[in-house]
Amino acid sequence: MKNFFSAFRDYAILTFGLVIYVLAWTSFLIPNGIASGGGTGLCTIIYFASNETVPVSVSFFILNALLLIIGFMVLGKAFGIKTIYAIILSTILFDIFPRFDWTVTFDEKFLVAVVGGILEAVGIGIVLLKGGSTGGTDIAAMIVNKYWPVSPGKVYLYTDIFIIASILLIPGKTIEDMIYGYIVMITFSFMVDFVLLGQKSSVQVLIFSSKYREIADKILTMDRGVTALKSMGWYSKNDSIVLLVIVRRHQLHDIVSIIKAIDHSAFVSVSSASDVYGEGFEEMKTGLDLKKKQKPQLPQD
């Protein structure tokens, strides 16, 4: 029963994120003639190019269905059920929401692009936090990365630039429309990082102090681990200990307060840690099931 409620909660939050994501497109971007990047951006351009005769929901489903099939064939791995759920539900929402005509406009189209990008990022951020994905360029990036030494991030960047620029091929669309698409892309990029990281962003702290024992013991009371690294000052040639601590960004003030209270002359180095996986931090998640079946080992003579 506990597992059931946990799964129900995850899918409820995932659904909420998808609702926000689709609303960003159907209420802000598409009605105002703006197309951003990603698979949904490509489907939006198809919608504009067909003179609004090919609904986004149709092209969205066909595009992702083809990518899923190619992904299964090329990657040979099973996609997560949450990704398939997100694609199906997004297709349904893209079909239902436009019927209610929930169009939002502002005097300045720039504001439409910014608000639409923010809402899109919030929705996608929630989906990603729950281990889901809306497919599209995510799947394409996995396929490209399998055969070419191109990082997924570059695949996203190149495809988004190309997709947004292709709006110029549609009669009546101008460079201004393309620029609004890039504004959405930039807003989305910044905001999705904020949503995904937020209070979960982490920092790495290096503490140089002769009172490292007292500092380490005090930090342990915060339920955070401390690693003691052997070091040597090259000038003095004296051996010492450097403390390595990784904490949430919002806990940094407490760490600094502890250090200052014990050793006011301690030297502290703080650097951002963009991704921290392990106990007490993040769990590695992916839209693919990366677990490979282990072949039984034959006994050797």
CA distance 129 to 29: 24
Q: How many CB atoms lie within 10 A of CB 227?
A: 10
**141 alpha-carbon distance from chain centroid:** 14
More confident residue, 91 or 155: 91
Q: pLDDT tens for residues 245-272? A: 988 777 788 888 889 889 988 989 888 7
- Block residue for tokens 């250090």: 259
Q: What are the start-end ranges of the H helices in 198-263? A: 212-220, 252-262
Give strand ranges (E) for 93-209: 202-208
- Block residue for tokens 């929630």: 126
Q: pLDDT tens for residues 188-214? A: 888 876 776 665 567 889 999 989 999
What is the H or E stretch that residue 268 is in? strand 267-273
- pTM assigned to the model: 0.68
Q: Is 257 helix (H, G, I), strand (E, B) or coil?
A: helix
User: What single letter denotes the amino acid at residue 198?
Assistant: G
On whether the CB atoms of residues 1 and 93 are closer than 8 A, the answer is: no
CA distance 162 to 134: 19
Q: Give the CB-side neighbour count of residue 215, counting CA atoms within 13 A.
A: 31
On whether the CB atoms of residues 192 and 125 are closer than 8 A, the answer is: yes
Per the prediction, the chain carries an average pLDDT of: 82
Give me the phi and psi of 277, to 5 degrees please. Answer: -115, 140
Q: pLDDT tens for residues 107-139? A: 889 999 999 999 998 998 888 777 777 877 777
On whether the CB atoms of residues 192 and 124 are closer than 8 A, the answer is: yes
- Block residue for tokens 């996203």: 156
The pLDDT value given to residue 133 = 78
Q: pLDDT tens for residues 147-166? A: 776 655 577 778 889 999 99
What number of residues does the chain have? Answer: 301
The pLDDT value given to residue 293 = 44
User: What single letter denotes the amino acid at residue 176?
Assistant: E
